[in-house]
Amino acid sequence: MNILVSIDDTDNLESRGTGELASLLAAQIEQYRWGRSSYVTRHQLLVHPDIPYTSHNSAMCFSAVLEDCHPQRFIEHAARFLESESAPGSDPGLCVARPALLVDDAPLIRFGRSAKEDVLTKEEAYDLARELGIHLSEHGGTGQGVVGALAGAGLRLGGNDGRLKGKLQAGSAGSAVRVDVLRSHPLIEEVDSLNGESVLDDDLVRLGEKVKAVLLGGRSVLLVEADGEAEQGVRWRTCSGRTLKKY
Amino acid sequence: MHERGRRHLGLEDWREAARLAEACSGFTPDVEEEQVADEVVSCFNCRYRRWNADSVSCVAPFLQ
């Protein structure tokens, strides 16, 4: 059974990040042999004076396939995990959605998009979760994190938002790597160019210091841009952090 | 960005963010997924920066 797990608002200025907790939860699914989990994505939400957030207001989400664990058992585990691992003063929220059970996924995707532009309330989040049959729960503080948790699930489901957590190990910075080699990386599903030009298997990509993928078209995509210097036949370079900030 | 009281940087002040962080004794790198500047040492990569709608502010408790 496919699930989406999204959490938000588990940290404070001194604690581990929400992304690390998401990674730990994803790893536990495999460690306990409950199933398989996918990469964690980070989704930027609105920063606004009326929204309480620590420093950046982002939600973290991953997908998983549960093979030997009932979703309810996982939900109870994740709830206990958030209650024990979230930082003091945080307002953690947990969302577990089963996309296959959604009659219509559009409202959830819309909610995710709205959370990037509008101030949304807990009540709106709970109402939508109830309507769609999605698990949504709060685990400390004000529980305000339920808004971001539900939004994170919607944005992940929409497939066109967010950056993958973690730097990709694809070679040393400054080296040139063939596109087909990058496409065979376990965390890269596609290599695309920023400007829409075709990226060919035998093209070369100069790797930057920090190689990161984004979620586009429901896939993990390594975005590249034209290498202005184009030395030694290297046509592309990986995008800078500044460029990827908007994803 | 660090002085007593809050200071702000524009969202595109990449060069200034790097310059200020290099000179700041309080710079502490944020977790990887929240770092956006290509310069390793930058206010934009610091755990104590706070993104606002049109600026970034320093919220380092020991520098306020």
Q: Where are the domains of chain A?
A: 2-163, 167-244
Q: What is the pLDDT of residue A55?
A: 85
Q: What is the pLDDT of residue A173?
A: 94
Mean pLDDT of chain A: 95
Name the closest residue on chain B to residue A162, using Cα atoms.
Answer: B33
pLDDT (tens digit, 9 = 90+) per residue, B10-58?
999 999 999 999 999 999 999 999 999 999 999 999 999 999 989 999 9
Q: Residue B15: is it exposed, middle or buried by C-beta count within 10 angstroms (0-12/13-18/19+)?
A: exposed
Q: What is the pLDDT of residue A229?
A: 66
* Residues β-bridged to residue A135: A96
What letter does residue A87 receive in the DSSP assignment?
P
- B61 vs A13, A60, A210: nearest CB: A13
Give residue A159's pLDDT band: very low, low, confident or very high (50, 70, 90): very high
For residue A168, pLDDT over 70 is answered with yes
Give residue B6's pLDDT band: very low, low, confident or very high (50, 70, 90): low
B62/A contact by beta carbon, under 8 A: no
Q: What is the pLDDT of residue A28?
A: 98
pLDDT (tens digit, 9 = 90+) per residue, A212-246?
999 999 999 999 999 876 667 899 999 999 999 99
Residues in chain B with CB shorter than 8 Å from the CB of A210 are 35, 38
Closest CA to A192 of A69, A182, A32: A182
Contact A17 B30 (CB under 8 A): yes
pLDDT (tens digit, 9 = 90+) per residue, A65-100?
999 899 999 999 999 999 999 999 999 999 999 999
Residue A217: CB atoms within 10 A of its CB come to 11
DSSP A149-194: HHHHHHHHHHTS--EESS---SS-TT-EEEHHHHHTSTT-SEEEET
Residues in chain B with CB shorter than 8 Å from the CB of A209 are 38
Q: What is the pLDDT of residue B3?
A: 46
For residue A185, pLDDT over 80 is answered with yes
> What are the structure tokens assigned to B52, written together?
């606002």
> What are the structure tokens assigned to B57, written together?
């502010």
- A19 vs B33, B48, B51: nearest CB: B33
- B53 vs A13, A48, A166: nearest CB: A48
What letter does residue A81 receive in the DSSP assignment?
H
Closest CA to A14 of A90, A69, A75, A74: A90
CB A211 within 8 A of CB A238: yes
Contact A13 B34 (CB under 8 A): no
Please determine, looking at this structure, whether the domain spanning A2-163 carries the CATH number 3.30.70.2200. yes
Q: Which residue stretches of chain A are H helix?
A: 18-31, 71-85, 106-114, 122-132, 145-158, 179-183, 241-244
pTM, two decimal places: 0.94
Region A40-54 average pLDDT: 92
Q: Given the DSSP bridges, would you call strands A190-193 and B55-58 parallel, antiparallel or unpaired?
A: unpaired
B63/A contact by beta carbon, under 8 A: no
